Chain A
Amino acid sequence: MKRGGLQGYIIKRLIYAALIAFGVVTITFILLRLGPTSPADKYLANMSARTQDPAQVVAAVEARYGLDKPLYQQYGNYLINLARGDWGWSFSTSMPVIKLIQTHWVYSFQLILLSMLFAASLGLLIGVCSAIKQYTRIDYLATFFSFIGISIPNFWLGIMLILVFSVQLGWFKTYYDTGLPMFSLANLKALILPVITLGTGMMAGYTRYARSATLDNMGKDFVRTARAKGLPERVVIGKHVFRNAILPIITIIMFSLSGIVFGGAYLTEIIFGIPGLGRISFNAIFASDYPVVVTITLIGTLVVLLTNLATDIVYTWLDPRIRYD
């Protein structure tokens, strides 16, 4: 197959991605600075410098971080610094934003990655089984539980899981233990409840889509051809049906990524006290620590945009009919 147009397509998409990221940064920046509180107010509270004239302290702090300049100038400076690789200074934690992100990104990353693996593998498995056994008890059970899974808000699920498995049964800690080594069984165990919390809703959704995509393809003529060839059902479903059914499911999974990065992961991290980017961002919002919020929002945006682009590229391998030119 010709892949000549792919390179041009990638470049085009990267330009779009840059424009979208720019838009997201601009909107986030302006919205945050439109709020009535200045980061300096919080700074002031933190410093407990009440002996001095508060107004003077605020003015001093604002001058130090350029907060006294007009908004467009602050914005321009922020962009220039961003381009230079300087992601700003976190007022509330008194360290460079980049440093903050370096220490915390991995907690979000492991949570999101494991949740997606959990949701995608189980969702696909249950969905396909459900479709093969359409209108049997297995199918009804899967359908029933997937609707429950879709309907349960994950913050409620997280709290209930803690209540039952941590408080009542005592199987897990009520809090995520940051002291554990990253690649250890103990860490994996500590992530079980958070992964279930974040993954259940996704898994239920994927189950529904996997079921319907599998059913769609099971009725196709090429499935009859495959059976007429004498292929065993394992190959008919596992090869001919699955390979076609997986295409829309991948789109759905990628589509749900933004909801996970910007919604589910934030809540899950907060419930379980996981010090990931979501929690950092959450704290930063309350502290009006806008460089942190803008930067984390930007990172999330880039992750979503680049994953989508990666999916589109993977598609050219999965579906030979797709060509970008």
Chain B
Amino acid sequence: MHHNILEIKQLKTYFFTRSGVVKAVDSVNFGIRRGESLCLVGESGCGKTATALSILRLIDSPPGKIIDGEIRYHDEDLLRCSGKRLRQIRGHGIAMIFQDPQSSLNPVFTVGDQIAEQIRMHLKLKRRPTMERTLHLMEQVGIPRARERMKDYPHQFSGGMRQRIMIAAALSCGPEILIADEPTTALDTTIKEQILDIFRDLKQQREMSILFITHDLGTVAGIADRIVVMYGGRIAEVGTVYDIFDQPKHPYTHGLIDCLPDISARSDRLTSIPGMIPSLIDPPDGCIFSPRCPRSMMVCRQKRPKEVIVSKEHLVACHLYS
């Protein structure tokens, strides 16, 4: 059995809005293993980001609230540890980068300072070594003329360079786990590849686990060891990258893979999954995918499917297999 360094159990994160309770994360379970890169995949609004933010308790509250569950990191439950302990883990044990590097960096501080501040804070280094480390990190993520550019401000960098800065800051204290929430979504395709390369290098060089969140299955193929497919705040399918791409079980996963454009098919139209993303305020009874599911059965509309073990690494939550 593989050892999970982070274990998410029965996580429920709800948002209390004017129009009702949004069950953004509804009883989600999965684990992250040492040194693996795990991709969390799903459409917009399926609860990927809410899951990621819940791990470090970064959900904006109000309106969001983690209702229940457990997030086990080593021997601690992050949902129940003290604020002080949580701050020691944030940025040090588990670091996070976000979708939009433009707004995620503070415009009025130099990038050097924004990388250095957590080094000072967690590693308690003096001025000189902090600066050296910052410089080294910036060189590592491929920022040219790093020594001069440390003193520059975020607006003086391009989008791709800003995301490199974010990565450098996240790596600064040598985290065990890096959570990357759609880190390439806001970037051009060419820049996106460069950033993905950094992630691939990181995986090889460091014994670091990566939780990579994306809606783009194409990105996933190039980076993931294992994949968690989410739909409507719940987990649809979990498996290795081969399980998911070669033998997808869940009709939703099928749908996602069918949506990938196939150049050899030379079709005029792009495929899509019919129907709309369900409202998470008042989800249908039973399987949340059933209204859009081409293989929906009677039971799908009545009972919520349990997770079924397909093979050693492969789990699916679908009545077709129970």
Residues of A within 8 A of B95 (CB): 228-229
Q: Is A148 an interface residue (CB 8 A)?
A: no
What residue of chain A has the Cβ atom nearest to residue B179's Cβ?
A228
| Contact A243–B87 (Cβ < 8 Å) | no
Main secondary structure on chain A at its contact with chain B? helix
* CB of A177 to closest CB in B, whole Å: 45
CA distance A221 to B122 in the complex (A): 22
| Contact B105–A231 (Cβ < 8 Å) | no
| Contact B87–A230 (Cβ < 8 Å) | yes
Residues of B within 8 A of A318 (CB): 108
Residues of A within 8 A of B87 (CB): 230-232
| Contact A225–B105 (Cβ < 8 Å) | yes
What residue of chain A has the Cβ atom nearest to residue B118's Cβ?
A229
| Contact A228–B90 (Cβ < 8 Å) | yes
* CB of A282 to closest CB in B, whole Å: 43
**Contact digits for B107-133, partner A, Cβ 8 Å, 1 yes 0 no:** 111100000011001100000000000
Say which residue of B91, B106, B118 sits within 8 Å of A244 (CB atoms).
B106
Say which residue of B90, B103, B105 sits within 8 Å of A227 (CB atoms).
B90
What residue of chain A has the Cβ atom nearest to residue B110's Cβ?
A320
**Contact digits for A281-325, partner B, Cβ 8 Å, 1 yes 0 no:** 000000000000000000000000000000000000011110000
Q: Is A6 an interface residue (CB 8 A)?
A: no
* CB of B155 to closest CB in A, whole Å: 5
| Contact B155–A321 (Cβ < 8 Å) | yes
**Contact digits for B74-86, partner A, Cβ 8 Å, 1 yes 0 no:** 0000000000001
Say which residue of A222, A229, A244, A319 sits within 8 Å of B90 (CB atoms).
A229
**Contact digits for B52-89, partner A, Cβ 8 Å, 1 yes 0 no:** 00001010100000000000000000000000001111
- Known contacts A224-B58, A321-B153; A230 and B90 CB within 8 A of each other: yes
Q: Is B92 an interface residue (CB 8 A)?
A: yes
Residues of A within 8 A of B56 (CB): 227-228
Contact residues of B between 151 and 197, Cβ < 8 Å to A:
153, 155, 166, 169
| Contact B109–A243 (Cβ < 8 Å) | yes
| Contact A230–B92 (Cβ < 8 Å) | yes
| Contact B58–A228 (Cβ < 8 Å) | yes
| Contact B98–A231 (Cβ < 8 Å) | no
What residue of chain B has the Cβ atom nearest to residue A232's Cβ?
B87
Q: Is A33 an interface residue (CB 8 A)?
A: no
- Known contacts A320-B153, A320-B155; A229 and B107 CB within 8 A of each other: no
What residue of chain B has the Cβ atom nearest to residue A231's Cβ?
B121
Q: Is B272 an interface residue (CB 8 A)?
A: no
A interface residues, Cβ below 8 angstroms from B = 1, 219-222, 224-232, 235, 239-240, 243-244, 247, 318-321
B interface residues, Cβ below 8 angstroms from A = 56, 58, 60, 86-92, 95-96, 98, 100, 103-110, 117-118, 121-122, 153, 155, 166, 169
